[in-house]
Amino acid sequence: MRRLIKAFGHLLAPTSKRFYAELENPQQAQFRVQQRLVNQLKRCEYGKKHKIREVADWTKLPIVDYEEVEPWIARSKHESNILTTKPILFYEPTSGSSGPIKQIPYTRSLRRSFNRLFCIWAYDLIQHGPDLSNGKLYFSITPSFTKAETTAGTTTTDDSDYLDVWIRWLLKPFLVLAPPTQTPEDFQDALAQTLLLAEKLEIVSIWSPSFLTAQLDYIQTHQHRLHALLNKRLSQARAELLLQPSINWAALWPNLKLLSCWDSVTAADGADSLRTYFPNALVQGKGLLATEAPITVPLLAAKGFVPLLEDVYFEFEDSEGHCYELHQLKAGHTYAVIISQMGGLYRYRLGDFVRVTHYYRQTPCLEFCGRGNQVSDLTGEKLHVQFVSDVLSQLNISEARFQSLVPVRQPSDHYVLLLDRCNGDLDAIAHQLEDSLCQSYHYQLARQLGQLSPVKVIASPTIAKQLSDKKATFGQRWGDVKHTKLSTQCYDELNFLSKPIEIPS
CA–CA distance, 262 with 287 (Å, rounded to integer): 7
Q: Which of 306, 282, 351, 287 is nearest to 64 (CA)?
A: 351
In the structure, what pLDDT confidence band is assigned to residue 158 with cuts at 50, 70 and 90? low
CA–CA distance, 225 with 210 (Å, rounded to integer): 23
CA–CA distance, 387 with 485 (Å, rounded to integer): 10
In the structure, what pLDDT confidence band is assigned to residue 168 with cuts at 50, 70 and 90? confident
Alpha helices in 383-440 (DSSP H): 385-393, 426-437
- Total number of residues shown for the chain: 505
The count of C-alpha atoms lying within 13 angstroms of the C-alpha of 328, restricted to the half-sphere facing its C-beta, is 11
CA–CA distance, 409 with 38 (Å, rounded to integer): 45
In the structure, what pLDDT confidence band is assigned to residue 296 with cuts at 50, 70 and 90? very high
What are the tens digits of pLDDT across the range 10-21? 888 899 999 999
Q: How far is CA 348 from CA 37, 197, 369, in A?
A: 13, 44, 19
CA–CA distance, 141 with 459 (Å, rounded to integer): 37
- How many degrees, rounded to 5, is the angle at CA 296 between CA 318 and CA 319? 10
Label the pairing between strands 323-325 and 375-376. unpaired
For residues 247 and 160, the model is more confident at 247
| CB-based contact 316:326 (threshold 8 Å) | yes
In the structure, what pLDDT confidence band is assigned to residue 82 with cuts at 50, 70 and 90? very high
What average pLDDT does range 361-389 have in this prediction?
85
Query: Which range among 153-162, 274-283, 441-450, 465-474 shows the weakest confidence by mean pLDDT?
Result: 153-162
| CB-based contact 60:49 (threshold 8 Å) | no
What average pLDDT does range 13-34 have in this prediction?
95
Tell which phi-psi region holds residue 74, choosing left (phi > 0), alpha (psi between -120 and 50) or beta.
Answer: alpha
CA–CA distance, 275 with 278 (Å, rounded to integer): 5
CA–CA distance, 382 with 446 (Å, rounded to integer): 10
Strand residue runs (E) in 70-124 = 88-95, 101-107
The whole-model pTM stands at: 0.77
Maximum distance among all alpha carbons in the chain?
Answer: 78
| pLDDT exceeds 60 at position 291 | yes
CA–CA distance, 5 with 341 (Å, rounded to integer): 31
3-state class of 468 per DSSP? helix
What are the tens digits of pLDDT across the range 318-333? 877 899 999 999 999 9
CA–CA distance, 330 with 201 (Å, rounded to integer): 41
